[in-house]
């Protein structure tokens, strides 16, 4: 598959001006202030599993509008110390699934809160969280739901849920509230950048193939995947483009990235037609631009022959090693290497 976006040397310098509304900060401040009117944790109960090395809890917290949002809380079994927590956001069309589906972070010694995505279950994974606010004008899919106004847009609600998930994680037992990490791929990567721009004291951010970064450009160069759903909506609703572009300017990951101050780890596949590489690089190159003082630490891994899957397991290994360095040694069961010596299996 030929490369369809900018060459890598141009991507590394790509810092486009993005369409940022003048009331961007006011819009999000008022949205999040309204969300804080509800207590964050609604229910936390142990979840029986067949796992001996991981303990699980079924968590419900209050998201946008006080709506109950479901999540799984996992941590290494038998560990009582307060741990850094990874707050993870799922990709488009996914739900939180079952508690044993995502075990990398608790097995690595971290606490892990996996947030369900309201109204998205069924395409790639199951979820338990409805979206009761989907009446605003727009299309049928999550990315077009309420897209005619910023106030009614689906991602206003989902981003608010994502911020509230950080507050919920900090309120959970066994969490070090000073070491919270926002993480995700694709839609989850876009949510992690949004949270980084809206929560000023994260310990780190992990984002790969982030969605909703510079969507104005994405609509011009791709009609694959989720952006294709917006393209299809505009193909039918031919007079909606100005309103749609205005709404998208309120959820642009580049604008959130400019306000972020936590260390960040990116991963991007140069053949990604779902979330084009130039859109992710725009967020990376703008990251921390409005932060006073020294710029936050930024790390980028590029995968020239990969698409939306980016570095996959290789990227996860790089995330684990980078995060251990950023957070230090306070991770349960962290080891600098094997303690056994000699052959583990003797020849027959």
Beta-bridge partners for 114 = 72, 88
Contact 282, 345 (CB under 8 A): no
Q: Could you give the CA distance from residue 227 to residue 139 in angstroms, rounded to a whole number?
A: 13
192, with CB counted inside 10 A (0-12, 13-18, 19+), is: buried
Phi, psi for 118 (deg, rounded to 5)? -55, 130
Instruction: Give the residue ranges of DSSP H helices in the chain.
Output: 8-11, 24-35, 104-107, 154-171, 187-198, 215-221, 225-236, 241-249, 253-258, 277-286, 312-327
Q: Give the pair of three-digit tokens for residue 163.
A: 């911020």
Q: Give the pair of three-digit tokens for residue 146.
A: 């309420």
Catalytic residue among 56, 121, 141, 186: 186
Decide if 308 is catalytic.
yes
User: Which whole-number Å values give the CA distances from 304 to 2, 3, 4, in the listed order?
Assistant: 11, 9, 12
What lies within 8 Å, CB to CB, of 140 at 6+ separation is: none
User: Which whole-number Å values give the CA distances from 176 to 46, 81, 118, 127, 150, in the listed order?
Assistant: 20, 9, 27, 27, 34
Catalytic residue among 116, 272, 286, 310: 272
Tell me the longest C-alpha to C-alpha distance in the chain. Answer: 75
Beta-bridge partners for 208 = 185, 267
Q: Could you give the CA distance from residue 310 to residue 268 in angstroms, rounded to a whole number?
A: 5
Decide if 272 is catalytic.
yes
Beta-bridge partners for 60 = 43, 70
Q: Which residues of 62-83 are buried (b: 16+ CB within 10 A; e: fewer)?
A: bbbeebbbbbbbbbbeeeeebb
Decide if 301 is catalytic.
no
Catalytic residue among 214, 265, 308, 310: 308
Catalytic residue IDs: 186, 272, 308
């Amino acid at each position: 598959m030929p490369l369809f976006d900018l060459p890598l040397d141009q991507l590394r310098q790509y810092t486009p001006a993005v369409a940022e509304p003048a009331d961007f900060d006011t819009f999000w401040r008022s949205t999040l202030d309204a969300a804080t009117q509800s207590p964050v944790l609604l229910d936390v109960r142990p979840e029986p599993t067949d796992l001996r090395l991981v303990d699980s809890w079924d968590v419900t917290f209050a998201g946008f509008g006080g709506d109950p949002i479901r999540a799984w809380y996992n941590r290494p079994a038998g560990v009582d110390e307060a741990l850094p927590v990874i707050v993870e956001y799922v990709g488009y069309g996914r739900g939180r699934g079952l508690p044993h589906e995502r075990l990398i972070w608790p097995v690595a010694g971290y606490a892990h809160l996996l947030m369900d995505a309201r109204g998205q279950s069924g395409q790639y994974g199951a979820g338990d969280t409805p979206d009761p606010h989907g009446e605003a004008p727009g299309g049928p899919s999550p990315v077009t739901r309420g897209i005619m106004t910023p106030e009614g847009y689906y991602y206003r609600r989902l981003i608010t849920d994502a911020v509230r998930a950080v507050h919920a994680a900090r309120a959970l037992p066994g969490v070090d509230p000073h070491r919270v990490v926002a993480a995700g791929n694709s839609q989850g990567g876009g949510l992690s950048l949004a949270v980084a721009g809206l929560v000023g004291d994260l310990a780190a951010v992990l984002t790969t193939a982030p969605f909703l970064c510079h969507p104005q450009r994405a609509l011009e160069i791709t009609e694959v995947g989720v952006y294709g759903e917006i393209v299809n909506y505009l193909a039918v609703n031919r007079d909606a483009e100005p309103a749609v572009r205005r709404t998208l300017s309120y959820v642009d990951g580049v604008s959130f990235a400019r306000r972020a101050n936590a260390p960040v780890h990116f991963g991007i596949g140069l053949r990604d037609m779902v979330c084009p590489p130039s859109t992710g690089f725009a967020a990376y190159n703008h990251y921390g631009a409005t932060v006073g003082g020294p710029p936050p630490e930024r790390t980028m891994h590029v995968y020239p022959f990969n698409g939306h899957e980016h570095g996959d397991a290789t990227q996860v290994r790089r995330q684990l090693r980078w995060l251990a360095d950023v957070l230090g040694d306070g991770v349960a069961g962290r080891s600098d290497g094997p303690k056994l010596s000699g052959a583990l299996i003797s020849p027959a």
